[in-house]
Chain A
Amino acid sequence: MLNKRAHIVWAAIAASIIVATWQSAAADDKKLEPLHLRLNWQMKGEFTPFIVAVQQGYFRDQGLDVTVAEGSSATQALQSVASGQDDIAYVPSVQLIKAVNQGMPVKAVATVAKVDSMGMVSTAKVPLSSPSDLEGRTVEISAASTFSQIWDAFARKNKIDVAKVKVVRVAPGARFNLLLSGKVDILADIFITNEYPVLESKGQKLNTLKVGDYGFPLIGYTLVASNDVIDKKADLVKRFNAAAAKGFQFTIDNPDKAAEIAAKAYPEQLKADITKGQVKELVAFLKLGEPRQLFLGNDDLWSKTVKLLKDSGAISQQKPVSVYYTNKFVPR
């Protein structure tokens, strides 16, 4: 009995080795160049354009074998790119600017979102029509969030009396329960393109407020590469951007279809209905701001963001904008 079973097992192993070798041989025909994209978070609807670019074969068409890797924070993603472990990171501009100021040899190769989707959210019974509604409330601002960097300046600009605001700092994972159970009144560190649709899907009526509307229009997501990669693998970056831009365009033109493709590729992390909501918000934000062209930035836009951050005390230096971004790799 044992012998017979052993024979079957060995046969199965041999068969799988043969199949695997055959398949990898077939793949070798294409000779794709590998490239690692590091995200700043676990998979969420906002990353749909990249998933689309993989699934629809845009990267393959450019001769690239792109691995889209989830991350845990913008800090980690940037350090990974700076150290050479990953090629390109997808992070908000605020963290990129800080990294550059600290001497990290990285640069934005695509200005994806001209306007950040930072926002606030509250349940129906807590009014949130203007910044002054924060007074007298318990407001959650996570210590690791982008908004916490500019909170003081935001309050000053919008004449919020911070003494009247009870700020609590909670890890991102714990925020939703606290809002829905009423332990906090307002979450001030969310992104309209991400957390808002998630909360919406829980069936609650919600109020929102866009941070960008109240004097803080910052650049949102950017694609970042190390200076090393920019110098030595320029062609790679160009082809990556071309394919990624196609993914973004597809998403803008077919938001629901794009959401479906993404949910199908990551069924555990992405629920179809929430993803559709997130993609809808993403597309709305992508259409905001200047310059209109996909991935294109300009000096005016960038210096405005850097100046805002410096004035709000989030950063201490303001370097020439050419250090932070480049348009060299933007597809025409």
Chain B
Amino acid sequence: MSGGGLYSGLRVVAGVAVVVFVWQAASVLFHIPNYTLPSPFAIAAVMLKEWRPLLENSLVTLTESVIGFGLSIVISVPLGILIVYSRWAEQVIYPILVASQAVPKVALAPIFVVWFGFGLLPKVLIAFFIAFFPIVVNTVIGMARTPREMIYLMRSLGASPVQILLRVQLPSATPYIFAGVKVAAAFAVVGAIVGEFIAATSGLGYMQLVADNNFQTDLLFGTLVALSVMGIALFYLVGLVEFLVLPRPLRQTRVDGGSSL
């Protein structure tokens, strides 16, 4: 990462600090009641007080999200490759996948609970269900963008289809795949929460329901803060993996997703 990374990081922190300051000032000046919009100080206070349940529940939601997310990567990339290589898969499976996204996960969640019980599995599955699609789509698009001459080159060297896939198509698709994976990370967290809303005894989604039922609006916001932190952390974790795994020309060096290719 360039030296500009530190500078832009500081700018983000400064931006957040300004928002928090304005919010706190507004809360005090306009006497905004705690049950409508808690002040940042109130939220921070309750988060400190309840740090332990927050941490424990965060770990639960994190586990559900990460497993669902991991599953989505493992299944989606091969599925994307299959769709590129198989006419049948492209014409039969791809439309089914697209249609599946129109199904509201909130409606699916109760059905998953009936089929898979009350434990980790239904949340993992819903997280998977939402997260897999951007990865499949980006894998397909990324592989289709392989320059034609590269494929000609490989064929003229006598490369087998597997060699073409591994040496040229997948590498040139990786910027797209990683972009899809970043989106999927955020989606997986949402999916885990949706699952928890339907049936859970732990996790940040469950904590939200209880806080809401108890009129503890500051704690409710505390869980939202924890969720945001989790989402951001996962996003940057994927970015870190990308940085470590990919050679420099393939990395997304700009926020707009552009790479140096």
Contact = CB atoms under 8 A, between A and B. Distances in A.
Contacts of B8: none
Interface of B: 33-36, 109-110, 113-114, 117-118, 197-201, 206, 209-210, 212-216
Given A168-B118, A168-B201, A170-B198, A102 B34 contact: yes
A102 B114 contact: no
Contact of B198 (A95, A101, A149, A174): A174
Given A103-B33, A167-B201, A178 B212 contact: no
A143 B206 contact: yes
27 contacts: A75-B213, A75-B215, A79-B36, A82-B36, A83-B36, A95-B215, A102-B34, A102-B35, A102-B215, A103-B33, A143-B200, A143-B210, A143-B213, A144-B209, A144-B210, A144-B212, A148-B210, A168-B118, A168-B201, A169-B201, A170-B118, A170-B198, A171-B199, A174-B113, A174-B198, A183-B114, A183-B117
A203 interface: no
Given A143-B210, A169-B206, A177 B110 contact: yes
A171 B206 CA distance: 10
Contacts, number: 73
Interface string A133-168: 000000000011100110000000000000000011
A169 B213 CA distance: 14
Contacts of B110: 170-171, 173-174, 177
A169 B195 CA distance: 12
A169 B200 CA distance: 5
B132 to A, nearest CB: 23
Contacts of A171: 109-110, 197-199
B213 A149 contact: yes
Interface in A69-114: 73, 75, 79, 82-83, 95, 98-99, 101-104
Contact of A144 (B114, B117, B213): B213
Nearest to B117: A183
Contact of B114 (A83, A95, A177): A177
A99 B198 contact: no
Nearest to B113: A174
Nearest to A76: B212
Contacts of B113: 170, 174, 178, 183
Contacts of B209: 143-144
A181 interface: yes
Contact of B215 (A98, A168, A178): A98
Contacts of A177: 110, 114
Interface residues of A, number: 28
Contacts of A149: 213-214
A145 B117 CA distance: 20
Given A75-B215, A104-B35, A148-B210, 11 more contacts: A98-B214, A102-B35, A103-B35, A104-B215, A143-B200, A168-B199, A169-B200, A171-B110, A174-B109, A174-B113, A178-B113
A95 B200 CA distance: 22
Q: Which of A143, A144, A183 has the most CB of B within 10 A?
A: A143
Contact of B213 (A82, A83, A103, A148): A148
A174 B107 CA distance: 10
Most chain A beta-carbon neighbours within 10 Å: one of B33, B197, B214: B214
Contacts of B197: 171
Contacts of B199: 168-171, 174
Interface in A177-196: 177-178, 181, 183
Interface string A4-37: 0000000000000000000000000000000000
A331 B256 CA distance: 66
Contacts of B117: 183
A174 B200 CA distance: 12
Contacts of A103: 33-35
Contacts of B214: 98, 149
A83 B37 CA distance: 12
B112 to A, nearest CB: 10
Residue picked from B35, B113, B215, most chain A C-beta under 10 Å: B215
A144 B206 CA distance: 9
A145 B213 CA distance: 8
Nearest to A148: B213
A102 B201 CA distance: 25
A178 B114 contact: yes
A213 to B, nearest CB: 24
A99 B114 contact: no
A319 B212 CA distance: 22
Contacts of B210: 143-144, 148
A173 B213 CA distance: 17
Contacts of B35: 79, 82, 99, 102-104
Nearest to A98: B215
A73 B118 CA distance: 24
Contacts of A83: 36
B117 to A, nearest CB: 8
Nearest to B200: A169
Contacts of A101: 215
A169 B114 CA distance: 13
Interface in A251-304: none
A145 B215 CA distance: 13
